[in-house]
Structure 1
């Protein structure tokens, strides 16, 4: 007798879903104009976060569009190797984006993009339906994707609105890129988009792109980066308060080497950066975001989330590459507990 087989159950929702453009990054160790060898890497703020969260033990899905070329194959191979579920489309007529990253001096890194008209820029709402239907505890978005094309902007807006309506946590990292759009263009898109987010993440000079009012004495939030420290702190607090009033639960401010802070309705938290020897700052903000969201998924409080974000960021800046040095969960204790310059034996 054969037992009846019921309908297949739906796959469980992933912990984190993100989407955007991943590119091939060709890195130089010195000036590009001098020639020399280039290292091939995967670059993309969203895939950086995906890798960071996956390495910390969570299920992650990434959606995007790639070209039918070796560059796209390389990206897919790298993301699969990190255990990330892929919801991608191959565009037969467009190329995968490429960027060159030049280590011009020890303190100055420059990026040169070849992404105009790329496969990744054709991302649209229809590319996200399957991933959104499968569900996620957190949908992570960045302002970079919204800047790629009108279709990509519609995809971000569609995903944010749908995810918020379906009860998912929506995380928005402003991630402003001046080579993609102006601050005015970014503000017009990102300010209304932030209303769908439960978590807004920004560097201290990006908050004015998602909080659109005016501060004390008529000071524009957009100019907050130009005021003195005391005024900048007051402007940050006012901008965070505006976002909280519009339904954002947490406003996370990344300050680089100065640490990070979080504003909530319950108060404000600050955490210093973990002291390490800085080698490569590219991807540090994405690493912080990955650590913060990982701790949120684990149920940690705000202080715990800040601590894990700071640790992940420290791994990023003290190792080479956008994401290659990001830690696994068991490795988080290596920094802060291990004396600098020592070898574990």
Structure 2
């Protein structure tokens, strides 16, 4: 289990452009500008949940970079370690609504964040953190970024200065064909805490994989969390295995839900180390992202969260069937 203390999330955050949900990218006369990044999503939700957290990255010394830093900082995340690169631009992402889903177009080749390397790990905030959070997105950006992630995960579990969590977060568009499966499996198996969706595990390592099969493929993390979409999540730990069903949720857009789940789980783990309650908080936090078009939505108030976490297993089963209570008005903010 990670020690109680600050968390550092490392990874790229981009400016994001998207048309209104009912409009096509091709025909829209205007696009909404926000920010998007897996690791900063985790950081912002951790801040929402009261966890001291900083975000380490690089952006261009440009207007979009300033907007990214301001947006993440406004959520209560320490952004003092983010570097402004005078020679490389801030990455850009464009969302294209397409039928039942959303296509994502990345413009992040040669971005400021893609030039990050292991030197990030020498930052004082990283060295003093209780937990460092990384994802497979960073490993896909460039050789130097992959070196950064690999270096962070090189010491075996139990011999690091801090715990390291890793979300597989497979983004096929960022990888050369045939390269992601082996790299992501190797990195995921090195972490102290690993998150992976059953669907992405099946895409990467075998269409017939079960949750138990994923544990056999990734035997080394002391804590492995396998998310099974809207059905639930299973945590494999050294002292047991727990499965907690996900509450029924009307999905507006799934983007950002995995990041929200990781943040909720990590916040719960840092609170008291109780894994079933951490899984519940992961589901609660993911539900807030599922209900909005942005990557980040409003959480239930603190008293509601405490009540949900205190439920008996039977009461939670009923809640899972009925759905979470409303969280308040949808947030039309940054992601």
User: Aligned to 1:159, which of 152, 165, 190?
Assistant: 152
User: Aligned to 1:267, which of 240, 247, 252?
Assistant: 240
User: Aligned to 2:32, which of 30, 39, 59?
Assistant: 39
Aligned mates of 2:270, 2:327 — CA distance in 1: 32
Aligned mates of 1:129, 1:157 — CA distance in 2: 14
Aligned mates of 2:104, 2:251 — CA distance in 1: 19
Aligned mates of 1:66, 1:170 — CA distance in 2: 23
Contact kept? 2:168, 2:188, Cα under 8 Å? no
Contact kept? 1:89, 1:127, Cα under 8 Å? no
2:212: which partner in 1? 237
Aligned counterparts, 1:15-34, within 5 A: 15-29=6-20, 30-34=23-27
SS in 1 for 2:171: coil
Aligned mates of 1:15, 1:151 — CA distance in 2: 25
Structure 1 pair 132–160 and aligned structure 2 pair: CA distance change class (3 A) = farther
Contact kept? 2:291, 2:297, Cα under 8 Å? no
Q: Find the structure with the greater CA-based Rg.
A: 1
- CA-to-partner distance for each residue in 1:123-179, whole Å, 9 max, x for gaps? 111133114554111111100000000011111112223695434111110001110
Structure 1 pair 312–237 and aligned structure 2 pair: CA distance change class (3 A) = same
Q: List runs of 5+ in structure 2 lacking aligned partners.
A: 309-318, 330-335
Contact kept? 1:290, 1:309, Cα under 8 Å? yes
SS in 1 for 2:241: strand
Count of aligned pairs between the two proteins:
311
1:82: which partner in 2? 75
Structure 1 pair 268–40 and aligned structure 2 pair: CA distance change class (3 A) = same
SS in 1 for 2:170: coil
1:320: which partner in 2? 293
1:222: which partner in 2? 205
User: Aligned to 2:96, which of 91, 98, 102?
Assistant: 102
1:55: which partner in 2? 48
Aligned mates of 2:16, 2:247 — CA distance in 1: 27
SS in 2 for 1:298: helix
Structure 1 pair 332–42 and aligned structure 2 pair: CA distance change class (3 A) = farther
Aligned mates of 1:199, 1:36 — CA distance in 2: 44
TM-score, normalization by structure 2: 0.84
Structure 1 pair 36–55 and aligned structure 2 pair: CA distance change class (3 A) = same
Contact kept? 2:6, 2:51, Cα under 8 Å? yes
Aligned mates of 2:200, 2:11 — CA distance in 1: 20
1:3: which partner in 2? none
Q: CA deviation at 1:243?
A: 2.5
1:256 paired with 2:247, answer no
1:71: which partner in 2? 64
Q: CA deviation at 1:208?
A: 6.4
Contact kept? 2:247, 2:324, Cα under 8 Å? no
Contact kept? 1:287, 1:326, Cα under 8 Å? no
Aligned mates of 1:308, 1:208 — CA distance in 2: 25
1:290: which partner in 2? 263
2:137: which partner in 1? 144
Aligned mates of 1:42, 1:162 — CA distance in 2: 33
Q: CA deviation at 1:23?
A: 0.1
Aligned mates of 2:256, 2:296 — CA distance in 1: 7
Q: List runs of 5+ in structure 1 lacking aligned partners.
A: 1-12, 210-220
Contact kept? 1:52, 1:327, Cα under 8 Å? no
Q: CA deviation at 1:22?
A: 0.2
- CA-to-partner distance for each residue in 1:214-260, whole Å, 9 max, x for gaps? xxxxxxx822x2x3xxxx33xx313303533x3x1111111221221
1:205 paired with 2:199, answer yes
Structure 1 pair 280–331 and aligned structure 2 pair: CA distance change class (3 A) = farther
Aligned mates of 2:327, 2:164 — CA distance in 1: 40
